[in-house]
Amino acid sequence: MNMLEIRKLTIRERSTGKVIIPDSSFDVKKGSCLAIVGESGSGKSLTCRAIMRLNKPGIEQAGDIWLGGENLAKLPEQEMRRRRGRRLCMIMQHGMRAFDPSRAVGVHLIETLAEHFDWSKSEMTGRMKRALESVRLNAPMDVMNAYPHQLSGGMLQRVMIALTLVLEPDVVIADEPTTALDTVSQYEVVEQFIRLRERLGSTMIFISHDLGVVRKIADEVLVMKDGRIVEHGTTGAVFTKAQHDYTRSLVTAKLSLHQHFRQVMGE
């Protein structure tokens, strides 16, 4: 059963009419993790922002986005806002951009929950406190009272994961969530995403250029180049039996870097 079905998604620049993503179609199975990979500018993030209907005003889109039998592309903006967070949740590449720099992190968290639930403030705070502790943020009230600039990138990513745990969405979209992090933080955040899937059973789209992370977390891989889908298959098949030259080059480059690292480290 598919949780998400994208049909003939086309994205173009409004001012020039230039097509950036032509006629893209794919499915995401319920409870599975689909990784979308490709070099910068391949259309990964544009595709996922289109699913959320969050692309900039200069970008227009057409096509159908089916979420559990509902076509999100046909919803008025007010109705779409109700779906964001509660049914579709997006965790961005740079945690700092997800929060208002002039307000404490906890204000954003409570306001987001208040949009979707009729809980009291104390209940929302309690649920967030437990969720923050579950992602190894051991001083949750200090985190909620902090301003975004006072937290590291890894901490902000874990805050967004904690919020997702409380929201319990049907689909989680993670847009290169480890790119801006150091190696240790990358490992911790990936582990939290794995646990997030285990706890919620949510469907996930994971955008990344790191094939090591993709191999660890994804059930299926979709490869994009110049706005087009060039390959889509199980993670095992894509890594071992890639059909497209571009996919093979991505995998080969990753293996070469890994082997070089092992040689440098004397392993």
- Delimit the domains of the chain by residue range: 2-264
119 pLDDT higher than 50: yes
Q: What is the pLDDT of residues 171-206, one digit of tens each?
A: 999 998 877 677 777 888 888 888 888 888 889 999
Q: Check residue 254 and give its pLDDT.
A: 62
CB 151 within 8 A of CB 101: no
The region, left, alpha or beta by phi > 0 then psi within -120 to 50, assigned to residue 31 is: left
Q: Check residue 176 and give its pLDDT.
A: 86
Q: Check residue 236 and give its pLDDT.
A: 94
Cα(10)–Cα(143) distance, integer angstroms: 40
Question: In the chain, at which residue ranges do the beta strands (DSSP E only) sit?
Answer: 2-13, 19-29, 33-37, 59-67, 70-71, 88-91, 171-175, 203-207, 220-225, 228-234
pLDDT classification of 262: cutoffs 50, 70, 90: very low
Residue 228's DSSP bridge partners are 225
Residue from 258, 254, 257, 224 nearest 239 by CA:
254
Residue from 176, 137, 155, 164 nearest 96 by CA:
155
Residue from 44, 68, 50 nearest 9 by CA:
50
Q: Check residue 181 and give its pLDDT.
A: 75
pLDDT classification of 209: cutoffs 50, 70, 90: confident
Of how many residues is the chain composed?
Answer: 267
**Strand order, beta sheet including 88-91:** 88-91, 171-175, 203-207, 33-37, 220-225, 228-234
Share of the chain above pLDDT 70, in %: 94
CB 26 within 8 A of CB 44: no
The CA-to-CA distance between both ends of the chain, in Å, stands at: 44
The tokens for 234 are 């199980």
Question: What is the pLDDT averaged over residues 36-57?
Answer: 92
Top-confidence residue, 251 or 231: 231
Q: What is the pLDDT of residues 150-175, one digit of tens each?
A: 998 889 988 999 999 999 999 999 99
Residue from 196, 164, 254 nearest 33 by CA:
196
Q: What is the pLDDT of residues 10-19, one digit of tens each?
A: 999 999 999 9
Q: Check residue 265 and give its pLDDT.
A: 41
Top-confidence residue, 15 or 253: 15
259 pLDDT higher than 70: no
CATH of 2-264, one of 3.40.50.300, 3.90.79.10, 3.90.245.10, 3.30.160.270: 3.40.50.300
95 pLDDT higher than 80: no
Cα(121)–Cα(124) distance, integer angstroms: 5
pLDDT classification of 36: cutoffs 50, 70, 90: very high
Q: For all residues of the chain together, what is the average pLDDT? A: 89
The tokens for 149 are 């600039």
Q: What is the pLDDT of residues 232-247, one digit of tens each?
A: 999 999 999 999 999 9
pLDDT classification of 120: cutoffs 50, 70, 90: very high
267 pLDDT higher than 70: no
